[in-house]
Chain A
Amino acid sequence: MTTTSTTNPKISRSWLVLLLAGAFEVGYALSVGGSEGFTVLGWSVSAFIFFLLTLYSLSVALKHIDVGIGYAVWAGIGAVGAALFGPLFFQESLTPARGIWLAVIIGGLVWLKLADSPKIRSRKTVAGSRSVRPDATTSLPG
């Protein structure tokens, strides 16, 4: 974990919102699965609500997170969640092979979070030392 003094609150909040977007995406995937081609009303309504929630929170998160990272995390959490919760709701099971792939995804998500932490970003700016502005380490793109 990075210390709170170097963590940019905007980035941290965006990552929380991105995790939330991933959770809504799981709800969307499960609802679409349950709606059986949007023929079951309850699941269809639930799918529509999750559709709005997941895209809204994704859009909020992408204000401060690069879209390539945001999309991978969003889709990654969606896939992990659907694989974990699918067996609870539908006739699915979690095989050892799928468990290993889940671990790969989760490892990649943690790696991405660390690579996107402002601490690494500011260290890079200092190392490059192309800018002498005092606010250079705190300024963010976008």
Chain B
Amino acid sequence: MYMQLMLFSVYRKAVMSWFYLSIAVIFEVAVGLFASKAKGFTHAWWTVATLASGAIATFFLGLALLSFDVGVGYAIWTSVAGVGIVIVGALFLGQRLDWKKTLGILIVIGGVVGLQLSGSA
């Protein structure tokens, strides 16, 4: 009985940290979209949305990184957000990228993932 309770608690913690990380990714994608819409903070509501999304993304990333390894969590966060932003840019802003730009984005994001996974110690 105690084992079952402990397993449930470990399982719930893992589910929660993935949930926090997902929220952090969604709001990071929103930061990209809203910052684009805010046109250099000349549109008030998009500006508010950008700042709020940035704060929420940071907050939930912080929560997720309490249980994830920092490098791994950060690598997943930036890479999924980076790809998500390309998709959102194509869907909502009509920004279709050619293969050269797509390759460049993949190299940069791949490099960030590699950097984060290779640790800082």
Contacts and interface: CB of A to CB of B under 8 A. Distances in A.
**Per DSSP, are chain B's interface residues mostly helix, strand or loop, or mixed?**
helix
B89 A104 contact: no
B33 interface: yes
A60 B112 CA distance: 24
Indicate the size class of the contact surface on chain B.
Answer: 35 or more
A67 B33 contact: yes
Contact of B115 (A32, A105, A116, A142): A105
Interface in A35-72: 37, 51-52, 55-56, 58-60, 62-63, 66-72
Given A51-B54, A55-B54, A75-B112, A69 B104 contact: yes
Given A98-B118, A141-B95, 12 more contacts: A63-B39, A67-B33, A72-B109, A75-B78, A75-B108, A92-B120, A97-B118, A108-B110, A109-B104, A109-B108, A112-B101, A115-B103
Interface of A: 32, 37, 51-52, 55-56, 58-60, 62-63, 66-73, 75-76, 79-80, 83, 86, 92-93, 95, 97-98, 100-102, 104-105, 107-109, 111-112, 115-116, 120, 124, 141-142
Interface of B: 31-33, 35-36, 38-41, 47, 50-51, 54-55, 58, 62, 78, 81-82, 85-86, 88-90, 93-95, 97-98, 100-101, 103-112, 114-116, 118-121
